[in-house]
């Protein structure tokens, strides 16, 4: 049995506390085995920070659609202690917040390479659980977290306070960072960005690091670690996050409404679905293009659209390709793919990222490949 405490934190009665303690120990074991958890200090933070206190409810799919699972429901505690992301907020049918998969959280926290006394800015408070882990490791006074949604920051602030973690929780657009508490030794984003918002580097102390998932319009992602000098690299760790709201793409119907007339049909050898690496590379090569997976059925395949000029391409799973508007988008994708292949098909973690204010590039060290990321406001 469980009950809600003020602020939505969760009181768990004795028998569930025992079960939760066993689950935490099991999960720690799994995270060590998988290599996601590597260092004793994060082990201690995980052990001391109950995920269930941050998840009074979540949503999951069933045969009828999405259903809410609340504290005390059958399987609630089990789900909370599985190594899975949990969807915590849906707004007008669109997922808008989640509790990140613990394994991914740990991979990122380990990669952040914090040391005692460092100050950290987290973008994307969500439930507050990641901020709680950071606060356990560094002390609440060294942790600032920002979320755009007041419906999330208020309960997160209360949950953190109830656990005695004096984290600064701010409401606002994380693309602007949080200037009042700058400079930070580390900035960690738990929502994905198209490019690194300049404010994050401006608010970084010398020698500091930004860790963020860069995602392309083709939905390929890679985890970037960028220094205060603007030079960075991508890590081999896989990461995928919901996009930062201020950087969300235009919708399918809006882009289809501006589509130019069809210009031709042919068969391509570059057939969708694109794997994660290809989607990252081609999306970086053509930053003005966004893609939508179309369900199997009458129109299976991938639909691409230019953000503004009416160009589009529809590539079916059997290779049939129709294009329209002023630019032949799939021809250009094939060209970008050929260039990447002749450069030795470097993986994202073999590429560098260089941030110079709003000018940002993903590139090979020798400059053979160089892709300009779109400007991120903020």
Ligand X SMILES: C[S@@+](CC[C@H](N)C(=O)[O-])C[C@H]1O[C@@H](n2cnc3c(N)ncnc32)[C@H](O)[C@@H]1O
Task: Report the sign of the C-alpha dihedral through residues 56, 59, 62, 65, in that order.
Answer: positive
Q: Give the nearest distance from C-beta 59 to ligand X in angstroms.
A: 13
The nearer residue to ligand X, 293 or 377, going by C-beta atoms, is: 377
Residue with tokens 């979540």: 58
Judged by CB under 6 A, the stretch of 35-43, 126-134, 286-294, 315-323 that binds ligand X is 126-134
Judged by CB under 6 A, the stretch of 30-38, 121-129, 316-324, 332-340 that binds ligand X is 121-129
Size of the site for ligand X (CB under 6 A): 26
Among 45, 134, 148, 284, binds ligand X (CB under 6 A): 148
Q: Give the nearest distance from C-beta 127 to ligand X in angstroms.
A: 4
- Taking the C-alpha atoms of residue 190 and residue 136, their distance in angstroms, rounded to an integer, is 18
Q: What are the structure tokens assigned to 352, written together? A: 């560098």
| Strand partners of residue 85 | none
Among 49, 71, 99, 321, binds ligand X (CB under 6 A): 99
The helix (H) or strand (E) run that includes residue 205 is strand 204-215
The nearer residue to ligand X, 35 or 95, going by C-beta atoms, is: 95
Among 8, 10, 112, 147, binds ligand X (CB under 6 A): 147
**How many C-beta atoms surround the C-beta of residue 342 within 10 A?**
10
Cis preceding-peptide flag for 88 (omega within 30 of 0): no
Q: What are the structure tokens assigned to 294, written together? A: 């179309």
What are the catalytic residues? 97
Judged by CB under 6 A, the stretch of 143-151, 217-225, 277-285, 292-300 that binds ligand X is 143-151
Q: Give the nearest distance from C-beta 249 to ligand X in angstroms.
A: 13
- In angstroms, the Cα distances linking 291 to 143, 274, 305, 315, 336 are 36, 11, 6, 11, 16
Measured in whole angstroms, the distance separating CA 264 from the mean position of its chain's CA atoms is: 36
The nearer residue to ligand X, 130 or 228, going by C-beta atoms, is: 130
The nearer residue to ligand X, 169 or 282, going by C-beta atoms, is: 169
- Taking the C-alpha atoms of residue 361 and residue 368, their distance in angstroms, rounded to an integer, is 12
When asked if residue 59 is in the footprint of ligand X (CB under 6 A), the reply is no
Among 119, 130, 215, 323, binds ligand X (CB under 6 A): 130
Cis preceding-peptide flag for 273 (omega within 30 of 0): yes
Q: Give the nearest distance from C-beta 178 to ligand X in angstroms.
A: 10
Among 24, 123, 279, 373, binds ligand X (CB under 6 A): 123
Binding mask 233-252 for ligand X (x = CB under 6 A): --------xx-xxx------
Among 102, 103, 140, 174, binds ligand X (CB under 6 A): 174
Among 124, 217, 220, 230, binds ligand X (CB under 6 A): 124
56 three-class SS: coil
Q: Of all residues in this chain, which one has the CB nearest to ligand X in the complex?
A: 126
Footprint of ligand X on 310-369 (CB under 6 A): none
Among 9, 80, 81, 98, binds ligand X (CB under 6 A): 98
Say which residues have a Cβ less than 8 Å from residue 61's Cβ, sequence separation at least 6: 67
Among 191, 289, 336, 373, binds ligand X (CB under 6 A): 191
| Strand partners of residue 171 | 147
Question: What does 113-157 look like in DSSP terms, one character per residue?
Answer: ---TT--EEEE--TTSHHHHHHHHHH-GGGEEEEES-HHHHHHHH
The nearer residue to ligand X, 344 or 377, going by C-beta atoms, is: 377
Q: Are 83 and 148 in contact (CB under 8 A)?
A: no
Q: Exposure pattern of 350-360 as b/e (b: 16+ CB <10 Å)?
A: ebbbbbeeeeb
Judged by CB under 6 A, the stretch of 146-154, 204-212, 251-259, 365-373 that binds ligand X is 146-154
The nearer residue to ligand X, 98 or 268, going by C-beta atoms, is: 98
Q: Interface residues with ligand X (CB under 6 A)? A: 96-100, 123-124, 126-127, 129-130, 146-149, 152, 173-175, 190-191, 241-242, 244-246
């Amino acid at each position: 049995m469980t009950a809600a405490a003020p602020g939505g934190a969760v009181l768990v009665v004795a028998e569930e506390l025992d079960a939760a303690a066993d689950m935490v120990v099991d999960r720690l074991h799994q995270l060590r085995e998988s290599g996601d958890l590597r260092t004793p200090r994060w082990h201690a933070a995980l052990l001391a920070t109950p995920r269930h206190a941050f998840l009074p409810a979540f949503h999951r799919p069933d045969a009828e659609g999405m259903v809410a699972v609340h504290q005390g429901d059958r399987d609630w505690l089990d789900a909370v202690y599985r190594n899975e992301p949990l969807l915590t907020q849906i707004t007008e049918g669109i997922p808008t917040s989640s509790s990140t998969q613990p394994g991914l959280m740990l991979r990122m926290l380990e990669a952040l390479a914090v040391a005692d006394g460092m100050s950290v800015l987290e973008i994307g408070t969500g439930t507050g659980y990641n901020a709680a882990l950071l606060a356990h490791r560094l002390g609440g006074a060294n942790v600032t977290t920002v979320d755009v949604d007041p419906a999330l920051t208020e309960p997160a602030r209360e949950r953190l306070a109830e656990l005695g973690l004096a984290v600064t929780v701010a409401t606002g657009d994380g693309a602007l960072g949080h200037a009042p508490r700058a400079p930070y030794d580390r900035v960690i984003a738990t929502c994905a960005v198209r490019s690194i918002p300049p404010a994050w580097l401006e608010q970084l102390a010398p020698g500091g690091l930004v860790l963020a998932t860069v995602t392309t319009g083709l939905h390929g992602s890679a985890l970037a670690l960028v220094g205060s000098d603007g030079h960075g690299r991508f890590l081999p760790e896989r990461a995928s996050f919901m996009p930062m709201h201020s950087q969300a793409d235009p919708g399918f119907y809006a882009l289809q409404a501006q589509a130019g007339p069809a210009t031709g049909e042919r068969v391509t050898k570059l057939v969708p679905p694109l794997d994660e690496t290809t989607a990252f590379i081609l999306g970086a090569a053509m930053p003005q293009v966004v893609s939508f997976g179309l369900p199997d059925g009458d129109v299976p395949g991938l639909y691409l659209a230019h953000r503004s000029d009416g160009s589009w391409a529809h590539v079916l799973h059997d290779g049939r390709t129709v294009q329209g508007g002023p630019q032949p988008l799939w021809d250009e994708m094939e060209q970008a793919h050929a260039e990447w292949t002749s450069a030795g098909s470097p993986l994202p973690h073999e590429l560098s990222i260089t941030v110079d204010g709003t000018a940002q590039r993903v590139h090979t060290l020798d400059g053979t490949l160089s892709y300009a990321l779109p400007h991120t406001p903020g």
